[in-house]
A and B are shown apart, each in its own frame.
Chain A
Amino acid sequence: MKHLKTLLALVFVAAFVLSACGGPAATETAPAEVGTIPEVTEAPTEAAAPASGGTVIIGTPQEPGMMNTLLTSAAIEDAVVSLFDEGLVSVNEKGEYVPVLAKELPTVSEDGLVVTWLLKEGVKWSDGSDFTCDDVKFTMEGALSDLSQVSASGYRDIESLDCPDPYTVVATFGEVYAPYLRLFSYTVPDTAGAMEDMESWDINRNPVGTGPFILSEWVPGDHLTFTKNPYYREEGKPNLDSVIIKILPSREVGMQLLGTGEIHALWDLTEANFPELEALKDQGVSFVSTVTGENELLSLNLGNNGGSAPADPSTNPHPILFDLKVRQAIQYAIDKQTIVDTLLYGNVKPGTSAVPVGTFACEQPVSEFSVEKANALLDEAGWTMGADGIREKDGVRMSLKIVTTTGNQLREQTEQVLAEMLKTVGIELVIENVPSDVLFAGWESDGMRDHGTYDIVMYTTGPSTDPDSHLYSSFHSSEIPTADNEGTGANFSRYINADVDTWLDEASTITDLARRKELYCNVVTQVNADLPRIYLYERLSIVGHRNEFQGLKISPTFVDFAWDAANWTLQQP
């Protein structure tokens, strides 16, 4: 008994002492900045900057693991990194490329193989060294290193990257890589260290950047504090003194904290949070959103759903969905506007196109809702109404399974609404959901999308800023997952159209923007006619924030979450 008491007392004392120095000890690394954080800075007397200073706390349910872009994997890491890491270009809130560390967008040679950048002069890293062409070269070498965890596509096509002078970058491609701008959207300083030591670089946790803020404190599992970068190129910017990234247990808790004002913004909400955001309105909470270019969609399986994974669905077609008329009838039977208005509070647009926003946007009309046309098409296709209100043909009952990820209330509600809508035209929709890792499993884990063991799958996808890889992998016939290609590609519908293949092949080898746009639009239009996919509604990036936190403009690519952080402001209450 005595021993136990002593032991407990010891453990208790030790824990208290340890944790007392554990947590706040980290604050000692940057005492000056951190000390000023809790105090609301006085409104400056000069009239020039009415809302300068202050600390914004941004909550996120995930913790970044790493501050080195070459080694990150999660979206939250890219978002946080964008507070200090800049590229030659960034993507603004409209989804357009804008120059950041470059003076302007690059010039491209006639044949599309030579890309020339002019860099801004006088830009300094947060450690005081100069930003030059060498850093751009180093970044490319990093991306190509065996240790890198970024996609090497595109970088692989660069034959040489030359620095004729410190502020000119000449990239020569071996073959045309259409989305070349993407390759220059981040930079790593060439002072980081030897390439083979990438995993232990100091900048992995003590980053060096050219952006408005720089990391001054990182308490694992709790928060990261970013303070002004003293070398930031714009005089008087950023407006804020500091930005704190607070790690939260969940979005639900984050919502509560947003309402009580403990945090100023909550990163990465979804359409499912609209009811809560609505309820927090009178507590000073609103949200900014931007279309991501992604759609919530139905992928219809044209091939047999028995797991044979045919490379050509016509050899082994789906008994119901292979018929174009059936797919058209399904789209006619779905009232997208009602889904948007009732389930999404009218905050999003109905889905229309595989490429709805950005430089390559291809506008398409909202599909028509008409029960009559749906019924007429199904009659025409030979599906006759059975006794139980479900159509039949040659002994096949018109019953389809829809699958999506479990635990997503919005998706479950959407499925129920869809089932109601399709029932009115005599199609039965059976809901069978699975966890996301099962739904999205790869070929070797018997993934249902790869092997085609589904009728209809509902999920979200879309192009990043450049639609090239998205359209190619979704609709090119060579991207149908089969045993031969070990399940690569995202053409889960097993869609084949020779014109689409030709257009996609041409588009990926040219850099003429106007021509590429035309080709992509051809693809989008053809896909909407053939309907391997039905677009339900456009997905949004949503960030909830308190009204006093202003200037938050989010980019459709979450990678560039903080692209305009220098202009964020906090109104003092």
Chain B
Amino acid sequence: MTIYFTRRILQSIFTLLVISMILYGLISSVPGGFMSVYIERADYTPEDIARIRAKFGLDDPIPVRYAKWLGNMLQGDWGNSLITKRPALEEIADRLPNTLLLMSIMLVATLLVAIPLGILSAVKQYTWFDHISTTLAFAGQSLPVFWFGLLLIIIFAVTLKGADGKPLLPGSGMYTLGADFSIADRIKHLILPVSMLTFVSAAGYMRYLRSSMLDVINEDYVRTARAKGAGERLVIYKHALRNAIIPLVTLVALDLPSLFGGALFTETIFAWPGVGRLYFNAALKTDYPLVMAVLMIESALIIGSNLLVDFIYAALDPRIRLS
């Protein structure tokens, strides 16, 4: 057991190291890069450009820069944003609550939609209900988010007007500018982004649960339950669902790290001041330290949650740790 855990942990650390190397290499090789803002401007002489390059340490070869960055990061210094000069972690901490708010509400809403729909369409397989919800699920998975988001904005924040003649729902931001904090206002701003995210991600979970339910319903123990004379509701919710939902729980657990990264497109389209949008803007400006910080935290969380799931499985199922 201990050997298995140690090996998995060491593997994970090695994976993270390789990821950081690849990411750093890729980001540093982006053409143009951070200096392009200055190079394009006529009033900057070559001496100015050279001075600014040196200031940001861009003269060193990429492996040297990587080694410096890694050394600092391991000592807890993740670097300052090139643009705002604030510590990258501080920038992220500023946006994290907003992202967690949006994403956690989204996750709850998604499960609330996906679980009942998944169960129902499995139980009523091949009925019109099943067909409609499966079709919608496909649509949700296939719609490009950036297009669907703009469509929602045009319909609900521009075309449709409320009783006061103002747009029905706000199309951007987290709260009405200047207004005092109110839960109602916050909820209004959440409706569009949460609806979009829910529609898109509920589709996946729903289809997953549907097929897992279908497998379970045909199992012997479900038939046994029916044979014992258990009611249909009891059979579905107690005997079938409990078993069918286990893979979904794994899936959700593996998706949890995305709560941190936020939804890049959604946050960008709806001007939600979260981590996803921070990352998007940092990437546009090739703000290396900030981009690296977001990517590394996200990678660490994903690898961490995979590790966690593995450990839980290993603890539950002896076959895994022995093989």
Contact = CB atoms under 8 A, between A and B. Distances in A.
A256 B259 CA distance: 30
Interface string B276-314: 011001000100000000000000000000000000000
Nearest to B161: A260
B3 to A, nearest CB: 27
B44 A23 contact: no
A4 B305 CA distance: 13
A24 B166 CA distance: 24
A438 interface: yes
Contact of A19 (B35, B44, B83, B97): B97
A153 B43 contact: yes
A470 B42 CA distance: 6
Interface in B17-53: 30-32, 35-48, 51-52
B269 interface: yes
A247 B36 contact: no
A470 B44 CA distance: 11
A278 B134 CA distance: 43
Contact of B42 (A24, A262, A469): A469
Contacts of B6: none
Given A65-B83, A147-B55, A221-B278, A55 B36 contact: no
B97 to A, nearest CB: 3
B304 to A, nearest CB: 14
B171 A257 contact: yes
Contacts of B181: 20, 23-24, 27
Contacts of B86: 205
A151 B44 contact: yes
A73 B284 CA distance: 14
Nearest to B93: A22
Contact of B179 (A15, A38, A225): A38
A153 B48 CA distance: 8
Nearest to A57: B177
B80 A199 contact: yes
29 contacts: A1-B245, A18-B97, A19-B100, A24-B180, A37-B178, A38-B176, A38-B180, A57-B177, A65-B85, A66-B84, A146-B54, A147-B55, A149-B52, A151-B44, A151-B45, A182-B43, A220-B278, A221-B94, A221-B95, A248-B271, A249-B172, A249-B269, A257-B172, A260-B167, A262-B167, A262-B171, A442-B39, A445-B32, A488-B46
A59 B86 CA distance: 24
Interface in B85-112: 85-86, 91, 94-98, 100-101, 103-105, 107-108
B105 A65 contact: no
Contacts of A65: 81, 83-85
Interface stretch (B151-159, B216-224, B315-323): B151-159
Contacts of A38: 176-180
A252 interface: yes
Interface residues of A, number: 74
Nearest to A261: B166
Given A152-B47, A256-B153, A22 B259 contact: no
Interface in A1-50: 1, 4, 8, 11-12, 14-16, 18-24, 27, 34-35, 37-38
Interface in B151-195: 153-154, 157-158, 166-167, 170-181, 186
B100 A14 contact: yes
Interface in B69-83: 80-81, 83
B235 interface: no
A177 to B, nearest CB: 12
Given A73-B37, A152-B51, A442-B39, A220 B94 contact: yes
Interface in A436-456: 437-438, 440-442, 445
B12 to A, nearest CB: 21
A191 B37 CA distance: 29
Nearest to A217: B178
Given A15-B100, A199-B85, A244-B178, A222 B153 contact: no
Contacts of A12: 104-105, 108
A442 B105 CA distance: 46
Given A73-B37, A222-B173, A11 B273 contact: no
A490 interface: yes
Contacts of B150: 252
Nearest to A26: B94
A266 to B, nearest CB: 13
B85 A66 contact: yes
Can you list the 10 inter-chain pairs with the closest CB atoms, starting with the nearest?
A221-B273, A37-B178, A65-B83, A18-B97, A15-B100, A437-B32, A19-B97, A24-B181, A19-B101, A65-B84
B48 A4 contact: no
A151 B177 contact: no
The residue in B36, B107, B173, B179 that gathers the most chain A C-beta atoms within 10 A of its C-beta is B173
Given A15-B103, A257-B172, A445-B32, 12 more contacts: A12-B108, A37-B177, A151-B48, A153-B43, A182-B43, A223-B177, A256-B154, A257-B171, A260-B166, A260-B167, A461-B42, A469-B42
Contact of B40 (A19, A62, A248, A440): A440
B100 A11 contact: yes
Contacts of B44: 151, 153
Contacts of B166: 260
A507 to B, nearest CB: 15
Contact of A74 (B37, B91, B274): B37
A376 interface: no
